[in-house]
Amino acid sequence: MVAEQDMMQLAYLNLSRLKDGLCRDWLGAVLGNAVRLWQADALAALPGAGRAVLIYDAPEVQIAPALRDGAPPAQAMSGWQTQAQAILARWRMGRREIFLVDADAFAAAPEALAERLAQWLERPAGAVPAAVGGEDATGARDIHDILAAHAAMTLAPLRDLADEMAAGGLSPRSVRAGDAAQLAAVWETLNVAGQGGAEQTDLLQLQLKTAQQALEQEYRDRIADRDAAAAELAALRAAAELDRVRLETALAEQARQIAALLDGHRALMVERRDLQAGLNHSRQEIDALFASTSWKVTAPLRRARLAVAGSR
C-alpha cells in the first residue's frame, strides 16, 4: 500500500497569503520530491490519480484588508465566499484527492499538519519539519482585523463555509480554541487597543457595534432579496402554469372543432357517394329503357303524338 501511494502524483495549491517557496519547502520535506506546484486556475484540473494539499486563508484574513481599503462589508465578504465556494465545489467532487489546510493552522501547528498529512496519505509519519514561521497572524490588530474576525464568527454564510472547509483537513478550529474563546480574544484585543484612553475604547466599541449592525443589515437584505426573488419566481411559475392551462384548453377546443368538421366532412362524403350511386343507377335505367324493344316499337306513336300536339 505504501509503495502504491509513493507512486501517486502529489501536488500543492497555495491560495493563501503564505509564500509559495515556504509552502513548497515545508511540504516537500513532508511529502517528498513528488510535490508539484499548481497555479490557482489549475484547481478544476487536478488529476484523478493524484492528491493535492490546498492551502487557503480564513475569511477574516481576506476580509480585513478589503475593509482596510475601504470596501463595503458585503463586497469584502463576497471575495472570500466566492473562492471558498469554488474550493468546496472541487473538494466535494473528490474528497479523497484534496486535503484542505487553513494557512493559520499551517503556521501555528506544523507538527499537527505533518501528522494529519501522514494519516491522509496512509504513510508512516516522518520527521517533522521546522516551524513554518512567515507572517505573524497574532501580532497587533487594528479595528478592521477585529471587525473581520467578528464577522467570520457571527455571520452564518461565512461561518458555515469555513466550518465545511475545516472538515476537509486542518484548520484553527481543530487545533486552537473554539468560537467562544476566539470572540473573547477579539474583545480582549479591543480592550488592549483602547488602553490609550476611555474615549478611544468607546470609539472602537461604537465602530464595532456600527459595523456589526451594518453586516447584519446587509445579511438581512440579502435574505430579503433572496425571498423576493423566490416570490417573483413563484409568481412567474404560476403565470406560466395559467398560460399552459389556457393554451391546453384552447388546443383541446380546436381539436374538438377539427374533429367535428372531420365528422361532418365524412358524412357529406357518404351522402355524396350515395347520391352518385343513385344517379348512376338512374342513368343505367334510362339507358336500358332507350335500348329496349318496346321503346323502339312505340317510337312512331310518340312521333305522331308530338306532331298532333305541334299542329294545335
pLDDT above 80: residue 44: no
Overall average pLDDT of the 13-40 stretch = 76
What is the model's pLDDT at position 174? 46
Helix (H, G, I), strand (E, B) or coil at 57: coil
Read off the pLDDT band of 273 (50, 70, 90).
Answer: very high
Measured CA to CA, the distance from residue 309 to residue 312 in angstroms comes to 6
What is the model's pLDDT at position 180? 46
What is the model's pLDDT at position 5? 42
Highest mean pLDDT among 63-72, 207-216, 242-251: 242-251
Helix axis angle for 59-68 and 143-154, nearest 10°, is 140
218: Cβ–Cβ under 8 A, 6 or more apart, which residues? 72, 73, 74
Measured CA to CA, the distance from residue 180 to residue 201 in angstroms comes to 22
What is the model's pLDDT at position 136? 46
- Beta strand segments in 4-133, E: 10-15, 37-38, 51-56, 98-102
What is the model's pLDDT at position 253? 94
Overall average pLDDT of the 123-143 stretch = 58
Per DSSP, what are the bridge partners of residue 93?
none
Higher model confidence: residue 31 or residue 133? 31
pLDDT above 50: residue 232: yes
> Residue 210 is placed in which grid cell?
456600527
Per DSSP, what are the bridge partners of residue 68?
none
pLDDT single digits (tens) 144-181:
777 777 777 777 778 888 888 887 776 655 444 444 45
Overall average pLDDT of the 4-13 stretch = 60
What is the model's pLDDT at position 2? 36
pLDDT above 80: residue 290: yes
Q: What is the pTM of this model?
A: 0.53
Overall average pLDDT of the 183-199 stretch = 52
pLDDT above 60: residue 140: no
What is the model's pLDDT at position 3? 40
Residue-range domain boundaries for the chain:
2-139+161-175
What is the model's pLDDT at position 275? 92
The fraction of the chain above a pLDDT of 70, given in percent, is 70
What is the model's pLDDT at position 289? 85
What is the model's pLDDT at position 276? 92
